[in-house]
Amino acid sequence: MELRRDVFQAIADPTRRAIITMVALHAMTPGAIAEHFDSSRQTISRHIQILTECELLAQEQNGREIYYHLNPHKVKEIADFVEPFRRLWESRFNKLESIMKNYKPDK
Amino acid sequence: MEFKTKINAADGRQELFITREFDLPLKLLFKAYQEPEIIEQWMGTRVERLENKSQGGYQFITIDPRGNEHVFQGVYHEFIPDSRIIRTFQMMKTPFPVQLEFLEFEEIDSNTSKLTIQIIYKSVEDRDKMLELPFAYGINMAHNKLQQIVQSLK
């Protein structure tokens, strides 16, 4: 339970959420991540460190560069990660249904 | 509250199923996949191209809240009105490979219908990554919304 709380604290921070969103698309180096923010590289490094400590991010050595990617196992642990996917489709289909209920074919 | 949309994504498989029952006659449900103006409304996208026939292509362009353009496109392998669509789908300029989608439209009775979508991904990892996207995007959206609220308070 202790660790879970830490993970939620980690994602409570807007900068860290933004980092998670970026690396969810593809693995990135700390430098590439930092370029997206106005904060100093040290600040971003600290955020990355926190995310790595709670295992939301995982490191990967590629030549001389370290890449960070999202750890799907951890994401699954902290939340039912399918739920937002389901909700996305739920809201799309609700919209479809209400549009079609009011649909009047123009003749 | 009971949700009408169900996702079945078994562990370690490179496919998933989306099922949904609609309070709509089958013909109206299918029309929502057939008419570009209607797709634009419920998918929240711009329909650039839509060729409703086997071996026809489609392309959607969506602008996100930051103004970035996202291109989604694919080809219909089979397009049978009121029955079935088999198509490919790909998010361009992303590392995600193309996926294969089977959409089955069924009549339950004259006023209700059912849609079953089976999506097959290139690998288990690709499927899991795709499932994660709304999760990652969602927490970011929540953040943006919060920022908007905070800014409007200023």
- Kindly state the DSSP code that residue A100 receives in the 8-state scheme: H
Confidence band, pLDDT 50/70/90 cuts, at residue A84: confident
CA distance B70 to chain A (A): 13
CB contact under 8 A, A85 and B135: yes
CA distance B28 to B120: 26
Range of the domain at A18: 2-101
Name the closest residue on chain A to residue B133, using Cα atoms. A24
Nearest residue in chain B measured CA to CA from A69: B129
pLDDT attached to residue B140: 55
Domains of chain B (ranges; CATH) run: 5-153 (3.30.530.20)
This prediction has a pTM of 0.67
Output the six-digit token pair for A32. 């590439």
Residue B107 to residue A62: CA distance in whole angstroms: 52
Are A90 and B4 a contacting pair at CB < 8 A?
A: yes
- Indicate the pLDDT class of residue B73, thresholds 50, 70 and 90: very high
CATH code: domain of residue A97: 1.10.10.10
Domain count, chain A: 1
Is the per-residue pLDDT at A2 higher than 50? no
- A61 pLDDT higher than 70: yes
**Which position has the higher pLDDT, A84 or B88?**
B88
Is A107 a domain residue? no
pLDDT digits (tens, 9 = 90+) for B100-124: 999 999 999 999 999 999 999 999 9
- pLDDT over 60 at A52, yes or no: yes
Q: Is A11 among the domain residues?
A: yes
How high is the pLDDT of residue B139? 54
Nearest residue in A to B39, CA atom: A96
CA gap B137, B150 in Å, rounded: 20
